[in-house]
Structure 1
């Protein structure tokens, strides 16, 4: 038995390592082939290896992790392979029933397999009489692809092991470092033939788009590629009307960019793939995202594409940190599948990047348990010293929902808002570029004042129960100076909804109100019960800059919850809308459709 492949990752060298546990053997009926683990539950192999899957189970075994035993997998994609030796797309994606405790393979940059002199490549297959596996040494004959699909491999020496049945689906890896550059699909026929064919990693990604997230490209991280790929897929699903060939022409440099390839493009994904792997211009994907946004009808998706492209009308992170808040974001959107159903997504934000932890469409009554379970899991993603802020992004009609009073867990009735700062944000405002721009301007002015004069408490705009101010006039008045608004009652009556909307349209960053508040039963000129609420609120916020209000509100909620007469405490149902776009730089679009 030959020496196993070197393990990839930091510190890898040209010396072989004891294991590369992501290598897999794939059995299906009479076929035996190889495969390789690319995520904790995903294995790639050749489509022809599992061609008998309709009549026989597909079994995956990891030779370097014998304790896992054989695992039955299901084929989730076969790339439309036609069944012939010269048919493109000889790729099958296998899904395991559970995650395996093995590190997946790492991928090399596409050009690393074609350097001069050619690097030594290793293949790990399962020829007859080698159930434990065997190694073969090869190199790329040339970077030229055959029929834009395969790359020719030739034996490293004249006396090494040739590729034979059992090597199909094997990862082709660099001997120095163990990173993958492609997958073996076939061996050359004829007596004495020692050549083979490989599907390069980039071609594999063309047939299975999620693989593009794992293959390094200049100027983009894996999350960058994954985010853009999802946005492009959403644009295709939504039926965006555009001409892919024209988008390509407008994405590459008009002078130095490569011309339209023969046959052009049939889909937006083909354009993106070509820009990622065939065009040596790191700026081209951003041009493509920005131009595609011009054709997208749905505002949230259009905004997300422009944000990804870095357009100036989309909020961007400032050059310096604005505070030490570390957000956990809960996004709720009404589902088209029923009036009481919502799509819930929970994400964390670190270093300006969003990590989605879960997404599910549920009945309204099931939301608290699902959300709080994911919020609890989100803490595993955060630094121990993080100052956590939990932000609920809600439809405008749901801003008065008692999310701060949701219990922390099924065995812990403690209100979430008494343990952590909990704020709400308006989903509609999050989608409007002009209002986000105005919010950023207000926070920047507050920063400038603080740098010049020290922390400056913002003036509180009181909205009394009997206010009759015109909505448009109030919006204009708040647009330049309004930083904090407080209401005597929730935005549930027609009058309060108009005044509340004026605050949102005036880009007021901070808005507070009692979730129940004044019922409006008193006469004109009579004392309003909400007046005491505003007076007490002014006292508690008098020395506080807007940046610190979520922390103070959490303390007030705690005091109310622990008071002897909870129902009589003035802050018992205090609600807070607080939004600083600099803390939430990712686009507000969904990872999944709300309609399920």
Structure 2
């Protein structure tokens, strides 16, 4: 039987000293099996034996990739990748093109059911239809009414063509009912959805399903290497685990007896392969589902509900599961446009959330996140003593910058409890070896923790949409005397065109504290004050020209009137830099509460999809 002749890559999997299933070697030191075969790998040691090499000791292995199977019946992603402690001197399994999984040809699997758990046994069967059950499995039925049926112990076994020995999939399930000689397998192009490393090893077929030729049959009836070679697609070098070119002589050795059409390179297939490899080298950050959706025609299938695990997976879906050849062209065009588009720095933001720990005044709860490409990337979350708070924040901000697009227009926002809003976080040193104030290097703003509520963010977003067209912002002045009724202040902030509430007194001042609270909850998009403004020691200040708070508001008026609201953080950065170089500059202790929720959105949070076995 060709499927076993020289096929040393068939593997037996043991977990905790007991045979739990089968597997097969697909690359150097890598074995594929079902996730449920090694479901206890965290507690029980896993070993792999190659029965076609009797006498060789078992090889220890560990799970390095997982399809997401969670142990529930009829779930998806029943795939695990094992990495061996030592690489055996065995050629990996030859993988067939994805298209042959549906042909009516004899198939075999080498499994280890009860009674045959030492040396294994063989089951023969065929595929019933090309229909993917649940978008994942192909049904198998017995080749004849006698012989070994699929049973427990075949899970993870390679499904191979008897005539060529090439692998087309992996057994994941037996029928489960007495007397029913059927089961299921996961074809290789589906396996590649869950483990992108397999995408580079499965050759694409030379035809597209539904593309008939005159006289019946499909274009490209020659076997694997010849079809892949003529299409201009790579075929795998399993030993190297990568694509490699196929010499004409090698292709001819695999050509069927019937004459194949004259070799014709598929420029679209070759171009798509080159673009995907280029994207991988460049580290292109793109959404494969969005890319496919942009390229798909009206009659093309929907993308898998679980999405694509990689760009390779999406490209393989286009090549193997889409009937329209024009979709390959469109997909390649979309990818090419992403790769050749001029780079845009965009915007990035770092959110530093500080809060009361609830475990004493000496401890502070810290959470740091980076926002880039409209996605939130958590950096750190910890409760730290106040004595090392600044050092911890310095280090975590440095870590967060690694998550931002290089050159992005950055912003550092401190989210603080209301009673901490006057903290001079902009004056904290940039780092242990750089005592430059953080606010003199990057735009630094603060915001109230309570304003992070969804309802408040909604109102703020609407306010910012109105401010987007402004070339400057009008300051609503709150004088140090605090003579305005706070209720009327709320109405004025809501109804007026003022986008900024400026305070002559500090938030610590009892005279204007109610006005400050009102401005926070109105909510005013921007609040500005000076930490050394008119303080509590000037309780009877009439707000005349010699008042430091009045002088601050006068200077602020002149700056804000000519700056778009969105640019205020960077404008304040410039003011802080000037103030650092000049004595008694009016902006030296400026505090900017600036809150545009659109800089901190996460609309594409990735849902966790649970997937699981069926064997």
Q: Give TM-score scaled by structure 1 length.
A: 0.52
Give the drift of 1:476: 0.5
Aligned to 2:593: 577
Aligned to 1:413: 435
Give the drift of 1:26: 7.5
2:384, 2:600 → 1: CA distance? 27
1:120 to 1:529, Cα distance in 2 relative to 1, 3 A: farther
Matched ranges for 1:430-469 at <5 A: 430-433=452-455, 435-448=456-469, 450=470, 455=471, 457-469=472-484
1:48 to 1:130, Cα distance in 2 relative to 1, 3 A: closer
* Local SS of the residue matching 1:387: coil
Question: Structure 1, residues 12-52: CA drift from partner, whole Å, max 9, x if none?
Answer: xxxxxxxxxxx997754233654999xxxxx9943453558
1:363 to 369, 384, 400: 384
1:520 to 1:438, Cα distance in 2 relative to 1, 3 A: same
* Local SS of the residue matching 2:482: coil
Give the drift of 1:484: 1.4
Give the drift of 1:420: 1.0
Contact conserved, 2:22 with 2:33, CA < 8 A, in 1?
no
Aligned to 1:212: none
Give the drift of 1:444: 3.3
Give the drift of 1:75: 12
1:75 to 1:57, Cα distance in 2 relative to 1, 3 A: farther
1:562, 1:121 → 2: CA distance? 82
Q: Does 1:342 align with 2:365?
A: yes
Larger RCO, structures 1/2 (Cα 8 Å, 6+ apart): 2
| Superposed CA RMSD | 5.8
Q: Does 1:49 align with 2:38?
A: yes
1:70, 1:436 → 2: CA distance? 53
Aligned to 1:519: 535
> How many residues in Structure 1 have an aligned counterpart in Structure 2?
401
Contact conserved, 1:150 with 1:199, CA < 8 A, in 2?
yes
Contact conserved, 2:509 with 2:535, CA < 8 A, in 1?
no
Give the drift of 1:488: 2.6
* Local SS of the residue matching 1:474: helix
Unaligned runs of 5+ in 1: 4-22, 38-42, 62-68, 82-86, 98-112, 174-180, 205-220, 225-274, 278-322, 592-596
Contact conserved, 1:139 with 1:156, CA < 8 A, in 2?
no
1:162 to 1:332, Cα distance in 2 relative to 1, 3 A: farther
Q: Does 1:168 align with 2:155?
A: yes
Q: Does 1:383 align with 2:402?
A: no
Aligned to 2:494: 479
2:577 to 540, 544, 558: 558
2:424 to 369, 383, 402: 402
2:466, 2:406 → 1: CA distance? 31
Q: Give TM-score scaled by structure 2 length.
A: 0.50
1:359 to 1:152, Cα distance in 2 relative to 1, 3 A: farther
Matched ranges for 1:160-559 at <5 A: 168-169=155-156, 184-186=171-173, 196-198=183-185, 325-335=347-357, 340-350=363-373, 353-363=374-384, 365=386, 366-433=388-455, 435-448=456-469, 450=470, 455=471, 457-481=472-496, 482-525=498-541, 527-559=546-578
2:99, 2:399 → 1: CA distance? 43
Give the drift of 1:419: 0.9
Q: Say which one has the larger Rg.
A: 2
1:156, 1:375 → 2: CA distance? 63
Aligned to 1:301: none
